[in-house]
Amino acid sequence: MSASSKLPPFDPADPLGIDDLLEPEDLAIRDTVRGWAADRVLPYVADWYEKGELPGIRDLARELGSLGALGMSLTGYGCAGATAVQYGLACLELEAADSGIRSLVSVQGSLAMYAIHRFGSEEQKLQWLPRMAAGEVIGCFGLTEPDHGSDPASMRTHAKRDGDDWVLSGRKMWITNGPVAGVAVVWAQTEDGIRGFVVPTDSPGFAAPEIKHKWSLRASVTSELVMDDVRLPATAVLPEVTGLRGPLSCLSHARYGIVWGAMGAARSSFEAALDYAKTREQFGRPIGGFQLTQAKLADMAVELHKGILLAHHLGRRMDAGRLRPEQVSFGKLNNVREAIEICRTARTILGANGISLEYPVMRHATNLESVLTYEGTVEMHQLVLGKALTGLDAFR
């Protein structure tokens, strides 16, 4: 018997055999999240996107909580304690449905919950994390400001001591989950440096007006945060961190999820193009039989599965405690950039149909324009890698 006869068949859905790297529990988690997204998101998301709304977000959050997807890689306090790879697989499946759903989960778990879990007091953890893990309380994360996106050190939001209390004032911008959040983790300048505050959103002086007229992440809720002399007790401050190390470590954790998630949007677009190419006929035969179309499909598949391999490698490093922030920047820069290119190429295969919401391609492409910018623009990640490669700081 020849060696080639013992080889497994080629799988167009997994051309590199990446599934062989996954454990049975990894596959079970992936399939569970994929099944939930197919049932609860995919039948409705085009309509949500067209209307610019995410109805029933609190119900979706509770369902995601029951799956263990909120604060998934955190331990204790009702969190699932999953591996980084398992969390990444969940992000991929959620973003294959829509970037807005993955953003809901990322902001909840990798930003708001992660900040409390890593830097909070035991009292803060017990008060918030179990309910957030269950999806009973939705959280948001306030770092970006109207005039200070990539330069958070220049934030104007400030908190001043007043007796035993803190008084918090300022504005944050582009805050996912803001309109429905029950708790906000807000970063502010203080006399001691930048500090994080756990802010119940029903506090007097706190408001989260929703941002409308978005042409990206439309199946997601986004707001400003407006804080007008919000009085907080001394116990509201996150006690275990001072300075930008706090919010930046949270962002690094969230960016890791994006490395996987972007490949979900790319996979969805690639699959739509592949199916279309096999059935759409021009000049008497399927367009998938033409050389130019096959070249596009081959290039898309190469970049898609290279990106998944990269995400898997970074996940293993995170599980081993060896993942550096520069490596997360490497993954975010590459995978989001390539995902957008895959979406654009898929659109060309679908032709005019590519702009229709009957197909997911244009929705994913416009969503990824936001993903490309948030949690570190292309330029910021290029400079992170440039500094790491040369030892020279070009940020200033």
What kind and span of H or E run contains 285?
strand 285-286
Compute the residue count for the chain: 396
Please state, in angstroms and as integers, the Cα–Cα distance from residue 247 to each residue in 111, 229, 285, 347, 375, following that order.
8, 22, 54, 37, 11
**Contact in structure between 263 and 302 (CB atoms under 8 Å):** no
- Give the CA dihedral 116, 121, 127, 132, nearest 10 degrees: 10
Active-site option among 53, 326, 375, 379:
375
Distance CA 345, CA 339 (A): 10
Q: What 3-state class would DSSP assign to 235?
A: helix
Distance CA 273, CA 300 (A): 10
Number of separate helices (H) and strands (E) present in the chain: 12, 9
Provide the CB-side half-sphere exposure for 384 (13 A, CA).
20
Q: Is 53 a catalytic residue?
A: no
Sign of torsion over alpha carbons 297, 300, 303, 305 = negative
Query: Which residue type, as a one-letter code, is found at position 268?
Result: S
Q: What 3-state class would DSSP assign to 142?
A: strand
392: left (phi over 0), alpha (psi -120 to 50) or beta: beta
Pairing of strands 222-232, 206-207: antiparallel
Distance CA 220, CA 304 (A): 25
Query: Which tokens go with 83?
Result: 């591996």
Cβ contacts of residue 291 below 8 Å, gap of 6+?
A: none
Distance CA 152, CA 146 (A): 11
Catalytic residues: 375
